[in-house]
Amino acid sequence: MSFLDTLLVRPERSDQYIMASRRILYYKLAILTNITIIWVVFAFLFLYNIILFDKELATNRSLILFSLAFALIGFVVSASLIFFLKNAFRHYPVWLSVIIKMTLTFVLFIIVAFIILAFYFVFSSHWKLNEYITRFYKEVFLTRAFLIFMIDLAIMTLLTILILEVIDKYGPGGIWSMMRGKYNKPQIENRIFVFLDINNATTIAEKLGHTRYFRLLREFFADITIPILANSGEIYQYVGDEVVLSWKNTPQNKFKCLKFIRQAFFILKRKESRYLKRFGVAPSFKTGIHAGEVTAGVIGIVKKDLVYSGDTLNTTARIRGKCHDLDKQFVLSGDFMNDFHTPHSFRIEVIGEMEFKGREEKEKLYSVEFD
């Protein structure tokens, strides 16, 4: 077992939990680094704005120091958004969430900017502290240049929030693929797909009603997102109470795919009491897992989206549909098992060959359980 497997059940395997946590941390730090670089680039434009409004304030100031100061402010603001505020208001409407984040980060970067500028003017002008306190508000804080500086910071904060929202939309690496135009022309890819949905979803929805069931779905998908990120999975799409995940088809990613399922399974086991307390039911899930070639490309004019098409997805959906008939929670295809050896701590058993509508060849199916 690994990661959340058991934080969960086996605390002696905490080293693997730490490794998975590090992957998530590295992912967030990579986003933070890229956004900080954007802040540095915009620092040049913002310094030019300040010079236009108050040449005297900017005279003889170091561009390097200004850029570093702006980068530090950007780092602090972006870090607060990524690590603390990003999901803090996800239950609010988007517009209200943005306003709250803007307000909190505005207060934060005023404090940071005040401290940085205080040090800058004290050391560069050789003022004594008591002189600085009396002159700062008149010669810095009350100037038009400082107001422009605050406006520029607000613009960058809003831009940062929008960048994070776009990253959430396309997932890890997705935004860069879209910007490069990787999928503007159809691409043939060999990928692993996981169709995952909640067991007895209709019964649960009837019991809870539409609103409470939607809240359960939101918590369910939030809980399984951590192991998705920890195992480098890509969220292809949400469809009702189902999520479709994907990896490039490699032996290493097949193992990550199985690790994700195990980790998600044990996370939900661990949080059963919380779900029972809030909703009166504890959700579980079933999965169909398959691998094969698909065509990937961007579709749409008004709303563009990355779409995978091909028999591989249809087969994965049908495999998932067999879970109930076979009384198995996790079903794998023979194509997924090609060139793949059963890893330690997994029990994979042959179910047999089955026919699927629209396919001439039978598909060999397997079930997987965890030690």
DSSP class per residue in 317-364:
HHHHHHHHHHT-SEEEEHHHHTT-PPPTTEEEEEEEEE--TT-SS-EE
What was the pLDDT predicted at 140? 62
The reply to whether 314 and 165 lie within a common domain is: no
Average pLDDT for 32-53: 75
Tell whether the model's pLDDT for residue 221 goes beyond 80: yes
How far is the CA of 199 from the CAs of 285, 315, 364, 369, in angstroms? 5, 19, 23, 17
Q: Are 197 and 241 in contact (CB under 8 A)?
A: yes
| Residue that is last in its domain, among 170, 196, 218 | 170
CA-closest candidate to residue 82, choices 169, 174, 161:
161
SS3 state of residue 316: helix
Domain containing residue 355: 175-370
What was the pLDDT predicted at 19? 53
With respect to residue 250, please indicate whether it lies within any of the assigned structural domains.
yes
Q: Name the least confident of 57-66, 78-87, 259-268, 295-304.
A: 57-66
SS3 state of residue 136: helix
Token pair for 276: 């029972």
Q: Are 362 and 355 in contact (CB under 8 A)?
A: yes
What was the pLDDT predicted at 288? 95
Tell whether the model's pLDDT for residue 136 goes beyond 80: no
| Residue 213 confidence class, pLDDT cut points 50, 70, 90 | very high
What was the pLDDT predicted at 6? 41
Average pLDDT for 125-141: 63
CA distance linking residue 46 with residue 236, whole number of Å: 38
Residues 6+ positions from 298 with CB-CB distance below 8 Å:
178, 183, 184, 304, 305, 306, 307
With respect to residue 207, please indicate whether it lies within any of the assigned structural domains.
yes
Q: How many domains does the chain have?
A: 2
The residue among 174 and 266 whose pLDDT is bigger is 266
The reply to whether 58 and 194 lie within a common domain is: no
The residue among 335 and 229 whose pLDDT is bigger is 335
What was the pLDDT predicted at 8? 42
The reply to whether 365 and 230 lie within a common domain is: yes
Q: Give the relative orientation of helices 63-80 and 94-125 as an angle to the nearest 10 degrees.
A: 150
The reply to whether 135 and 211 lie within a common domain is: no
CA distance linking residue 341 with residue 258, whole number of Å: 12
The reply to whether 131 and 194 lie within a common domain is: no
The residue among 14 and 175 whose pLDDT is bigger is 175
| Residue 127 confidence class, pLDDT cut points 50, 70, 90 | low
With respect to residue 351, please indicate whether it lies within any of the assigned structural domains.
yes
Token pair for 266: 């044990």
Q: Give the relative orientation of helices 210-230 and 251-270 as an angle to the nearest 10 degrees.
A: 140
Average pLDDT for 245-255: 94
Which CATH number is 213's domain given?
A: 3.30.70.1230
Q: Name the least confident of 138-142, 144-148, 202-206, 313-317.
A: 138-142
Average pLDDT for 322-339: 90
Number of residues assigned to the chain: 371
The reply to whether 211 and 229 lie within a common domain is: yes
Which residue reads 């396309």 in tokens? Answer: 170
What average pLDDT does the structure give for the chain?
A: 80
Average pLDDT for 214-237: 89
The reply to whether 164 and 181 lie within a common domain is: no
The reply to whether 57 and 77 lie within a common domain is: yes
| Residue that is last in its domain, among 170, 191, 224 | 170
How far is the CA of 307 from the CAs of 169, 239, 252, in angstroms? 14, 14, 24
Quote the percentage of the chain above a pLDDT of 70.
76
What was the pLDDT predicted at 367? 92
CA distance linking residue 172 with residue 176, whole number of Å: 9
CA-closest candidate to residue 291, choices 314, 321, 307, 312:
312
The reply to whether 157 and 195 lie within a common domain is: no
What was the pLDDT predicted at 167? 77
The residue among 253 and 104 whose pLDDT is bigger is 253
The reply to whether 252 and 336 lie within a common domain is: yes
CA distance linking residue 282 with residue 212, whole number of Å: 13
Radius of gyration of the chain (CA): 26
The reply to whether 201 and 113 lie within a common domain is: no
When mean pLDDT is compared over 33-37, 182-186, 218-222, the highest value belongs to: 218-222
The reply to whether 56 and 90 lie within a common domain is: yes
What was the pLDDT predicted at 369? 87
With respect to residue 6, please indicate whether it lies within any of the assigned structural domains.
no
The residue among 356 and 90 whose pLDDT is bigger is 356
CA distance linking residue 58 with residue 66, whole number of Å: 10
With respect to residue 145, please indicate whether it lies within any of the assigned structural domains.
yes
What was the pLDDT predicted at 281? 94
| Residue 250 confidence class, pLDDT cut points 50, 70, 90 | very high
With respect to residue 297, please indicate whether it lies within any of the assigned structural domains.
yes
Does an H or E element contain 198, and which? strand 187-198
With respect to residue 2, please indicate whether it lies within any of the assigned structural domains.
no
Average pLDDT for 2-11: 42
Tens-place pLDDT, residues 10-35:
443 444 455 556 667 777 888 888 88
Q: Are 334 and 364 in contact (CB under 8 A)?
A: yes
Residues 6+ positions from 144 with CB-CB distance below 8 Å:
53, 54
